[in-house]
Amino acid sequence: MPALIFINRECDNQRMTLAWRRAAPFLLLTGLIFSSLLYLSFCPDDYYIYQQYARNLNQTGLPAFNPGEPSYGFTSPLWLGLLGLGFQSTHIHFFPKLLSFLLYAAAAWIFFHFCRGRFGSSAGIMGILLLFLNPWVWRWSLSGMETTAALLCAVLFLYAWAENKKWRWLPLGVLPLLRPELLAWTLAGAVLLVWRKQRTQAFLAVVPAAAWFVAARLIFGQWFPNTAHAKAAGFSLTAAWNALEKTILTLQPVDVTALALALWSLAVSRRLERPWRELLFLSLILVLLFTVNGVNVHTRYLVPLFPLTVTLFLATTQQFSRLRRGLVALSILVSLAQTAIWVYPATRAYTESEKQVNIAIGRWLKQNTSPDARVFLWDIGAIAFESQRRVIDLNGLIDSGIFHRNEPFPQIMARRIKEADPRIPFYFIDVHYKERRAEGAVPGIATEFLFSRPFHHMFIFQKKPLYYSVYRLTKKV
């Protein structure tokens, strides 16, 4: 009898152990998904640009930043369309944040199942830890930007491409509607499909982007968004080096290791299988594109790349289990250290400054200026959204004429004021490390300084505050 009791207890313990092993990955996955709530309050200025466009799209049916003036100052037409459909003036953050959370959860779930099915259960756990503890994937998870949608689309493309699914053309075709630089992946993928004699899939892959480019040309008179021109400095050795350096510094140890091992496997051992060769090719294309064009690489631009590099890492380390575990532990440790020491504290400081500076200035303009006032801005997002005043963007993101003229900002302001109705009041919010820089800088225009506010941690490693200085502009008599 005691022996039977002992056997029953052993069986119960084994069943509990088995149940725990089955449940543990899903509990871990759920924890990683809900950890995104750490960045729920993070609303970058570009988020408010989308919100401004979404409000006007929802209310007037036009993709316009200034009401009634269609402009191509947004990056993702697909993301803007979704935000426009769900825009709520009473709860502006609810829909973008909810949509980001659902897309992030879907990306995590699909990536885990893909890695587990392709490389095994332990590799599936390693994969989701490496990807979703990446400080940049984590930071942009609930930003309300197109980044999370691009992450999900990249994961779907990865899964469909590696598993040779017939519907792989769909995520491949949607990618450039989320990030313009991902057009390089669409074109490269279409070429590979043609090489495989799958011409129908190649054609379907390029249709969504081609249709949008034609529509953009008809609506805005241009093929690409103004943001694409503004972020690229053009080719020069200095710009190329800066872009490459920023890209490498944004990558985690696992990403650098994956690219190095994949190149070594391809060039030396010649054991890299076809889907991984093609993923390596696509990864290098994106890095090369940023480098050649001298792109000012923001961390969110690389988020769609990370699922590919993590998969390459798992694929190239299958036969080196001890090395894999060590590199996974190292990369996770580095990622968590970056998050705890730099990324999260800087993001909290950014969020607080956004409220105290941009949002506060926007609300001041709404309360203290006439509805027909015009505002010259460098950072057009939160200030324009809160103030509900017409904006003249000195970066040219909503006015390609300003961008392509390459004119100094005092001349832009002087010309616009002189050409305008003299009854229209003008204001200027300057952004610079030097406070009150613009006093007396605009020819023929009096710059009356009103007040300034310091913005801390506009950038992760920013040491000095940027000053947002508010001026009233009037013609000199």
Q: Which CATH number fits domain 348-475: 3.40.50, 3.10.450, 3.30.499, 3.30.420?
A: 3.40.50
Alpha helix ranges (H) inside 44-168: 45-60, 77-86, 94-119, 121-132, 135-139, 147-162
* DSSP string covering 246-265: HHHHHS-HHHHHHHHHHHHI
The Cα 59–Cα 62 span in angstroms is 8
Are the C-beta atoms of 161 and 175 separated by less than 8 Å? no
Dump pLDDT digits (tens) for 381-393. Answer: 999 999 999 999 9
pTM, two decimal places: 0.92
Tokens of 161: 């491409």
The Cα 127–Cα 275 span in angstroms is 17
Give every strand in the sheet of 390-393, ordered side by side: 390-393, 374-377, 426-432, 466-475, 445-455
Task: Pick the closest to residue 83 from 124, 143, 160, 5 (CA basis).
Answer: 143
The residue extents of the domains of the chain are 24-346, 348-475
* DSSP string covering 385-433: HHH--EEEETT-SS-HHHHHHT--HHHHHHHHHHHS-TTS-EEEEEEES
Please give the chain's pLDDT, 477 residues, in tens.
555 454 555 554 455 455 556 677 888 888 989 999 999 999 999 999 999 999 999 999 999 999 989 999 999 999 999 999 999 989 999 999 999 999 999 999 999 999 999 999 899 999 999 999 999 999 999 999 999 999 999 999 999 999 999 999 999 999 999 999 999 999 999 999 999 999 999 999 999 999 999 999 999 988 888 877 666 666 678 888 888 889 998 999 999 999 999 998 887 767 788 889 999 999 999 999 999 888 888 899 999 999 999 999 999 998 888 889 999 999 999 999 999 999 999 999 999 999 999 999 999 999 999 999 999 999 999 999 999 999 999 988 888 777 666 778 899 999 999 988 888 999 999 999 999 999 888 998 999 999 999 998 888 888 889 999 999 999 876
Dump pLDDT digits (tens) for 263-304. Answer: 988 877 677 888 899 999 999 999 999 998 888 888 999 999
Tokens of 39: 């960045």
pLDDT over 90 for what percent of the chain? 70
Are the C-beta atoms of 295 and 301 separated by less than 8 Å? yes
The Cα 301–Cα 157 span in angstroms is 17
Cα Rg for the chain, rounded, in angstroms? 25
The letter for the amino acid at 255 is: D
Are the C-beta atoms of 235 and 294 separated by less than 8 Å? yes
* DSSP string covering 343-397: IHHHHHHHHHHIIIIIIHHHHHHHHHS-TT-EEEESS-HHHHHHH--EEEETT-S
Are the C-beta atoms of 392 and 374 separated by less than 8 Å? yes
